[in-house]
Structure 1
Amino acid sequence: MLTTLYVVRHAHTIYTPDERNRTLSEKGYRDARIVQKLLAAEQVDTYISSPYRRAWETIVRNASAAVLDERLRERQVAAAPVEDFQGAMDRLWSQEEYQFPGGESNRSARARGVDAFQDILAACAGKRIAIGTHGNLMVLTMGHYDTRFNYDFWKQLNMPAIWKLTFDGQQYIQAEPLSIQK
């Protein structure tokens, strides 16, 4: 029985340090409407999202229309904002086990994402599921199934982005991008 996951990186945001409540920018809201129409055209059955507002706002208009799953939140880089974000990403992606104080390593963030995907696949077999999430966690999790999803891929990933992953049970079959017509 084939199951399809539409893994969605959130649309553009207005940066604030409030991770949970950061909203989309004006452009982000326009792009989110396009994403929502595309997911409806794909006949998505179930919407599951990170509890972070920017993730669920990209796939649904109201948080009550999605199941919120804490495991789909963005990876915690460190307990406090890092001074050199790009340098921090270089280090995290080059050293699988490294973690900054209060942060998550690639390995631990990936394990969290894979655990969520496996549970979703088991609970929603045969369905089309939209997953609202974040760039780092998205690529780390998809990289578990397909090695082309790596650091270089993450660095060029758009906001928003949608990847359609097909599974037979828990067995990964393929991934393809969905074009977001703007």
Structure 2
Amino acid sequence: MSKIIYLVRHCQAEGQKFDADLTPKGIEQSLLLSEYFLNKNIDMIISSPYKRAIKSATPFAQTISKEIIKDERLSERVLSSKDHSNWLEMLEDSFTELDLCYPGGESSKQAMNRGITVIEDVLTCSSNHIMLVTHGNLMALMIKHFQPSFGFKQWHQLSNPDVYSLVFEDNIPKIQRIWID
């Protein structure tokens, strides 16, 4: 039997901080996300502990009466501890040079490896349809792990929310964007 992992980028939020809430549009999106997943037989929901990720999954979790398991490994990637006006260029460089690490930040490789450990863990659990709610940069890096051509351009094209399915058979995923925004 195949195992399906749904990588979900959170809905539209008011900012990047840990406690940033969903915007009114983000709240509407979380309801659409809930409807979208109703027929997917989700038997486990794991989320970044960030408020915007939890709130993106909450309507669905309540509808199917499932607990949202918080996992720090799905947290937002910190590019640098300081704000930089050229952060977009810095991020683009980090997709090319995976070991590039800015002061106070995490390299793409470090973030990717952190996220992939969640996938490795759920591949060995008894659940077969798992929702992982995370953030755009980490989601892109997790996809890049399995599909190296996935890069900055594809990250830039992600929407809020966004959903990719990873269908695993023999530990090799078939990756597909399934969210239509």
TM-score exceeds 0.5: yes
Deviations 1:73-100 (A, max 9, x none): 1111111222322122122222211111
Q: Out of 78, 81, 95, which is 1:79 matched to?
A: 81
Distance 1:95 1:22, change over 3 A: same
- 1:23 aligns to 2:21 (yes or no): yes
Runs of 4+ in 1 over 3 A off after TM superposition: 61-64
Q: Which residue of 2 aligns with 1:120?
A: 122
Report the secondary structure of 1:11's partner residue.
coil
- 1:93 aligns to 2:91 (yes or no): no
Gaps of at least 5 residues in structure 2 are none
- 1:34 aligns to 2:32 (yes or no): yes
Same amino acid, percent of matched pairs: 28
1:173: how far off?
A: 3.0
Deviations 1:118-163 (A, max 9, x none): 01211245x1011100000001011111234221110111111011
**Alignment check: 8 A CA contact 1:46 1:129 kept:** yes
Q: Which residue of 1 aligns with 2:179?
A: 179
Q: Which deviates the most, 54-63 or 69-78? A: 54-63
Q: Which deviates the most, 33-42 or 2-11? A: 33-42
**Alignment check: 8 A CA contact 1:14 1:23 kept:** yes
TM-score scaled by structure 1? 0.89
Quick one: distance in 1 between partners of 2:173 and 2:94? 28
Q: Which residue of 2 aligns with 1:54?
A: 52
1:114: how far off?
A: 0.8
Q: Which residue of 1 aligns with 2:132?
A: 131
1:65: how far off?
A: 2.5
- 1:9 aligns to 2:9 (yes or no): yes
Report the secondary structure of 1:22's partner residue.
coil
**Alignment check: 8 A CA contact 1:4 1:128 kept:** yes
**Alignment check: 8 A CA contact 2:164 2:179 kept:** no
Matched to 2:92, the amino acid is D
Q: Which residue of 2 aligns with 1:66?
A: 68
1:48: how far off?
A: 0.4
Matched to 1:100, the amino acid is Y
Q: How many residues align?
A: 177
**Alignment check: 8 A CA contact 1:39 1:130 kept:** no
Quick one: distance in 2 between partners of 1:104 and 1:13? 22
**Alignment check: 8 A CA contact 1:34 1:180 kept:** no
1:176: how far off?
A: 1.7
Gaps of at least 5 residues in structure 1 are none
